[in-house]
Amino acid sequence: MNQDDLKSLVMRFIDGLASPDDAAALSRELESNRDARSLYLELAQLHAALSATLAESLARDQTAPHVLHRSGWIWSTVAVAASVVLATYLYRGNESPTNTRRISAEVAANVVELNDCQWVSVDGSVLIGAGIQRGQRIELASGSASVRFKSGALVTLLGPCIFEATSSNGAFLTLGQIKVRADTAAAKGFTVSTRTARVVDVGTEFVAAAAPNGQSRVDVTSGEVYVVLEGAKTQHVLREGDALSVEAGRAQVMVRIERGDSTAAFRFPTIEPPSSNDYADQLNGRASIRVVRGELVTKTAVSSGPAEILLNGRGQPAQDSPRNSVFFDNEISGALLMDLGELVLIEKINTYSWHQAKLAENRVRAVQKYILYGYDGEIPPSIDGSFEAAGWTPIARVNSDDFFRVMQPIDRPAQQACSITGAQGTIGRYRYLLWFVEPTQAIDPRYYNNTFYSEFDVYAKP
C-alpha cells in the first residue's frame, strides 16, 4: 500500500469513518509494516493535539463556570482509543520482559472493581472476581478497573490502558496510567516496569504512566519508591510528593521538578539554586542566548528583561520582579536559542522561575512549560515550522503543572526549578540548545500566562 493510500486509511479509522474492510486492511498493515505503525502513531498524536486545541477553544467560549484541566497525559477519547489499538499491535511481540503471549496458568491477581469499562476487544473483557493469569494482558479502552495481586498490592487501571501481570508481585505497563497501593508486608518490592524505567515499591502509594512515544513517569503519593533505569549504575529514590519522568532514547533523559521556598535564596529539596558556576554563565564568556521566535514583553509598564539575564547566575530578588525575569507576550509561544560556543558534553540543565503577584493564587507565571531541543552542528537548523523536521533533536518535555498535578490555582508553586539529567550521567553532545516555550493554560483571563523565567544553567564539559 502506498503512503497516500495508507494516510487516507489511517485518517478514516481515526475519524470513525472506516468500514469493516478498511479496519481489516489497516490491521494487516499495522501487523506487518513498521513504517505503517510509525505513521499511524504520528497521525493519532496529531489528531489528539487538534482535538485538545478545539476543546480548549470551546471551553474559553463558554460562560458557564467550569474548569478545564489540560494534561500531557490526557488525550481526546477517539485518539487515545486509536493509540491503544496501535499499541496492541506494537507490543504483542517481545517488548515486555517475559514475552508474555505465553500465558501461565498461575493466577497472579484478581479483578476486584470495574467502573464504566470498555475493552479494546470483546475477547479481552474481564469480569469482577476473574483471575488474572501471569502473562495476561488487560487492554482497557475507557473507564477504570482495579486488580488486587496475590501479594496484596492494589492496582487501579485508568483507561485507556494496556497492562500486564508479570508475577504475583509485578506488572508491565505498556500504555496509560495506573495507581498502585502496596501497603502489605508481602507487597513490599512490588515492581512496575515500562519501556524506559522500572519502579520498585518499598511500601507506598504511587502513580505510574506510560505515553505512546515512550515517555514514562512516576509520582509518589506517600512513602518511597526506587526508580531503576536500564544500564544505569545508580537507582533514584523518590519520596512523598516527588515526581520523575524519563524520555525514551539512548540518553535516558530524566526530568525532575521541585517547588522552592519562595525566597530570593531559591532553596529546593534536591535541586541546587541558580548558579554562576555553570558552563553557560555569562562571566565565562562562552555562551550566548537570544530570542529566535516570538517577542518578549517590552512595550508595557510591566516589561521583560533581556534574554541575557538568563545567564547571569541569579534568580529574581522578589516574587514579582519583571525586569529580572524573561517572559514572552501573552498567549504566544516563543523560542530561545543558546549557543554554547562549541560542541560540549552536557551533564545537566536547570531552569528556574518565580512569580506570585498580590493575589496568592496568581501563580500562572511560575509554570514551566517548554520542549528542549539540541543540535550538534556548526550552524543551527531552521526554527521555522517543525523543529524535528529541520534537524533539531528533542531532549525533554517539561510541564510543571502536570508534575504538580495542579487542579486549582492555589495548588501551583510560586517558585519552581526543573532539572534535566541523563541516567548515564550525561544528556548528550550539543553546541546549540533551543527552548520552545509555551504559554500557561490560564483559567482566569485576568492573569497573564507568560512565565517569569529567571535563570538557565547548563553544566557541561568541552
Count of domains for the chain: 3
Quote the cell numbers at residue 378.
556548526
Domain annotation covers residue 425? yes
3-state secondary structure 361-428: CCCHHHCCEEEEEEECCCCCCCCCCCHHHHCCEEEEEEEHHHHCCCCCHHHCCCEEEEEEEECCCCCE
DSSP 50: H
| Residues 221 and 340 placed together within one structural domain of the fold | no
Whole-number Å distance between alpha carbons of 271 and 283:
22
> Residue 52: pLDDT above 50?
no
CATH number assigned to the domain comprising residue 236: 2.60.120.1440
Average pLDDT, the chain: 82
Whole-number Å distance between alpha carbons of 255 and 246:
7
- Top mean pLDDT of 33-42, 230-239, 374-383, 394-403 is at 374-383
- What are the Cα distances from residue 462, in Å, to 345, 347, 428, 429? 6, 11, 12, 9
Last residue of a domain, one of 90, 120, 145: 90
Domain annotation covers residue 195? yes
Domain annotation covers residue 117? yes
| Residues 329 and 373 placed together within one structural domain of the fold | yes
> Residue 300: pLDDT above 80?
no
For 290-324, give one letter per residue: b (16+ CB within 10 A) or e.
ebbbbebbeeeeeebbebebbbbbbbbeebbbbeb
Domain annotation covers residue 198? yes
pLDDT at 156: 97
- What are the Cα distances from residue 271, in Å, to 200, 314, 417? 23, 15, 7
* % the chain with pLDDT above 90: 51
- What are the Cα distances from residue 79, in Å, to 31, 42, 238? 19, 11, 32
Per-state percent for the chain, helix, strand, coil, to nearest 5: 20, 35, 45
Mean pLDDT of 66-93: 43
Quickly state the pLDDT bin for 14 (edges 50, 70, 90).
low
| Euclidean distance between the first and the last CA atom of the chain, given in angstroms as a whole number | 48
* % the chain with pLDDT above 70: 78
| Residues 396 and 308 placed together within one structural domain of the fold | yes
Please report, as a single letter, which amino acid is at residue 269.
Answer: P
> Residue 137: pLDDT above 80?
yes
3-state secondary structure 70-99: CCCCCCCHHHHHHHHHHHHHHCCCCCCCCC
pLDDT at 16: 61
| Residues 186 and 297 placed together within one structural domain of the fold | no
Reference 162, options 90, 231, 239, 97; nearest CA is 90
Quickly state the pLDDT bin for 424 (edges 50, 70, 90).
confident
Q: Which of left, alpha, beta for 270 (phi over 0: left; psi -120 to 50: alpha)? A: alpha
Last residue of a domain, one of 199, 215, 240: 240
Please report, as a single letter, which amino acid is at residue 185.
Answer: A
| Residues 74 and 186 placed together within one structural domain of the fold | no
Quote the cell numbers at residue 155.
492496582
| Residues 448 and 392 placed together within one structural domain of the fold | yes
Handedness of CA 279, 281, 287, 288 (dihedral sign): positive
Quote the cell numbers at residue 101.
503471549
Whole-number Å distance between alpha carbons of 203 and 430:
40
| Residues 151 and 223 placed together within one structural domain of the fold | yes
CATH number assigned to the domain comprising residue 409: 2.60.120.260
Instruction: Assess contact for 259 and 268: CB atoms under 8 A.
Output: yes
pLDDT at 86: 54
> Residue 302: pLDDT above 80?
yes
Q: What is the dihedral of CA 135, 141, 143, 149, to 10 degrees?
A: 0
Domain annotation covers residue 72? yes
Full domain range(s) for residue 173? 107-240
Mean pLDDT of 236-265: 87
Last residue of a domain, one of 240, 265, 292: 240
Reference 371, options 344, 351, 345; nearest CA is 351
| Residues 65 and 188 placed together within one structural domain of the fold | no
Instruction: Assess contact for 97 and 81: CB atoms under 8 A.
Output: no
Quote the cell numbers at residue 209.
504512566
Domain annotation covers residue 310? yes
Domain annotation covers residue 441? yes
| Residues 113 and 75 placed together within one structural domain of the fold | no
Q: 168-225 pLDDT, tens per residue? A: 999 999 889 999 999 899 999 999 999 888 999 988 899 999 987 778 899 998 999 9
| Residues 138 and 53 placed together within one structural domain of the fold | no
Reference 182, options 168, 194, 172; nearest CA is 168
Q: 279-296 pLDDT, tens per residue? A: 999 999 999 999 999 999
Mean pLDDT of 364-375: 93
Domain annotation covers residue 25? yes
| Residues 20 and 154 placed together within one structural domain of the fold | no
| Residues 457 and 341 placed together within one structural domain of the fold | yes
Residue bearing the bigger pLDDT, 171 or 19: 171
